[in-house]
């Protein structure tokens, strides 16, 4: 009798690279173990606390016995109504959109190719971009195809560069604005062009709007669902993680036409049992907070952003002038390896950043700073970088003198 092969991972899993942020977490833990004082600009995990009113709503909800049972998979009525009010108040979206709760937007985004793609269908993935878009396509036996987003184009995809043969097989286009990792934003006019493109080519436009409120140019939050006719081709994913400092709570929602949301939930209902109802109560409280919460939050990030950008500019580092997200996207000297550079920053300065290569091949040559550390630590990090630069310049001067002696 032929012996069975040893248990091993599926072929699709072998196609996945190591998850970038898990790798960063391991590197950070190793550096701390060596005794280094790490200033962590790596993962975009807000250091500010969840608003007290949200915590209190969650605390009260925990004491409600009926919330300890299975939640409604699509979300409780109070959560759905809060999400619809949030869409209307903050984005002016007040049509026939359906809404369903998510265990964070990451979980929702990861299900998109599974729901809408067959084996071999193409998923258009922005590069550089959030790694989950590519991973979700691979796990659904779809084919991720890169759509490069480049500095000289404002990190916005150039649609006419996508080959016609690719578009004929494409089913999904992922877009994420304000953009992680670059901080780029779209105007409502640009959003309209993307919606028209999706309609023309029969694409589902999966909009990752996780950083919707993280803008520093005075423009109100925007949604693809504001574009007339978008509901037929757009599913938009909203996260409460960044807007309300709720990364650990794992709650968000998806919005779109009734048909698209019901199709999407048809898969999710077979996989998970919904969001804990007490967490939904906290999420509903968050979406009901007055706008001054966001004013104060943006003020903190704006100050951090300007402090770090000014410091990096003094060092001659090239920072993309982005008005969105709480990230800074920085170009390295030509030919520099982003992973190696990030490793040197950890070992020589105790500064953790995210290498651009982790967001795709077009992210090589860049690093990302997350503004999720206090301003005092940002000043400290800039000081460490200045010391590194001073040391490097002194070393170069010494080498030149030695060469002159010869």
Helix (H, G, I), strand (E, B) or coil at 376: helix
| pLDDT at residue 180 greater than cutoff 90 | yes
For the structural domain made of 52-287, what CATH number should be given? 3.40.640.10
Domain at 11-49+292-405: CATH architecture: Alpha-Beta Complex (3.90)
Q: In angstroms, what CA-CA distances link 54 with 51, 286, 305? A: 5, 6, 26
The per-residue pLDDT for range 212-227, each reduced to its tens digit, is 999 999 999 999 999 9
- 316, 285 in Cβ contact below 8 A? no
For range 156-167, the mean pLDDT: 93
The per-residue pLDDT for range 326-381, each reduced to its tens digit, is 999 999 988 889 998 998 898 889 999 999 999 999 999 999 999 999 999 999 99
| pLDDT at residue 6 greater than cutoff 90 | no
Delimit the domains of the chain by residue range.
Answer: 11-49+292-405, 52-287
pLDDT for residue 391: 60
If you average pLDDT over every residue of the chain, what do you get? Answer: 92
For 142, counting Cβ atoms within 10 Å of its Cβ (0-12 exposed, 13-18 middle, 19+ buried), the class is buried
The per-residue pLDDT for range 239-266, each reduced to its tens digit, is 999 999 999 999 999 999 999 999 999 9
Is the C-alpha dihedral spanning 236, 240, 245, 249 positive or negative?
negative
| pLDDT at residue 46 greater than cutoff 60 | yes
| pLDDT at residue 402 greater than cutoff 50 | no
Beta strands in 76-233 (DSSP E): 98-102, 122-127, 143-148, 170-175, 204-208
pLDDT for residue 393: 64
What are the two backbone dihedrals, phi and then psi, of residue 104, each rounded to the nearest 5 degrees? 90, 150
Provide the whole-model pTM: 0.92
The per-residue pLDDT for range 311-326, each reduced to its tens digit, is 999 999 999 998 999 9
pLDDT for residue 335: 83
């Amino acid at each position: 009798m032929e012996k069975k092969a040893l248990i091993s991972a599926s072929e699709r899993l072998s196609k996945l690279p190591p998850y970038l942020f898990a790798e960063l977490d391991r590197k950070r833990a190793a550096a701390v173990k060596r005794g280094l004082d790490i200033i962590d600009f790596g993962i975009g995990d807000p250091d500010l606390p969840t608003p007290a009113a949200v915590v209190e709503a969650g605390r009260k909800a925990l004491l409600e016995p009926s919330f300890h049972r299975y939640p409604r998979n699509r979300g409780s009525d109070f959560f759905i109504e809060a999400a619809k009010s949030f869409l209307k108040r903050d984005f002016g979206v007040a049509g026939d959109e359906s809404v369903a709760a998510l265990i964070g937007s990451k979980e929702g985004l990861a299900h998109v190719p599974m729901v809408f793609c067959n084996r071999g269908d193409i998923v258009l993935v922005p590069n550089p971009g959030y790694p989950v878009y590519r991973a979700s396509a691979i796990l659904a036996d779809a084919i991720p195809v890169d759509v490069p987003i480049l500095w000289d184009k404002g990190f916005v995809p150039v649609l006419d560069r996508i080959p016609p043969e690719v578009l004929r097989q494409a089913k999904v286009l992922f877009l994420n604005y304000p953009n992680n990792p670059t901080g780029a934003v779209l105007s409502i006019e640009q959003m309209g062009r993307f919606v028209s493109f999706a309609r023309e080519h029969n694409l589902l436009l999966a909009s990752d709007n996780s950083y919707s409120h993280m803008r520093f140019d005075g423009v109100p939050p925007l949604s693809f669902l504001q574009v007339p006719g978008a509901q037929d081709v757009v599913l938009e994913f909203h996260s409460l993680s960044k807007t309300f400092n709720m990364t650990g709570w794992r709650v968000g929602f998806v919005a779109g036409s009734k048909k698209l949301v019901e199709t999407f939930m048809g898969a999710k209902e077979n996989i998970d049992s919904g969001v804990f109802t007490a967490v939904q109560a906290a999420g509903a409280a968050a979406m009901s907070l007055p706008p001054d919460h966001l004013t104060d939050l943006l003020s903190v990030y704006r100050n951090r952003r300007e402090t770090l950008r000014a410091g990096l500019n003094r060092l001659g580092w090239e920072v993309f002038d982005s008005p969105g997200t709480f990230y800074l996207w920085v170009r390295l000297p030509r030919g520099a390896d982003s992973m190696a550079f990030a490793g040197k920053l950890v070992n020589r300065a105790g500064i953790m950043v995210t290498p651009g290569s982790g967001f795709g091949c077009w992210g090589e040559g860049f690093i990302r700073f997350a503004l999720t550390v206090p301003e005092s630590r940002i000043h400290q990090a800039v000081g460490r970088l200045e010391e590194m630069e001073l040391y490097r310049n002194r070393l170069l001067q010494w080498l030149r003198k030695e060469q002159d002696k010869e």
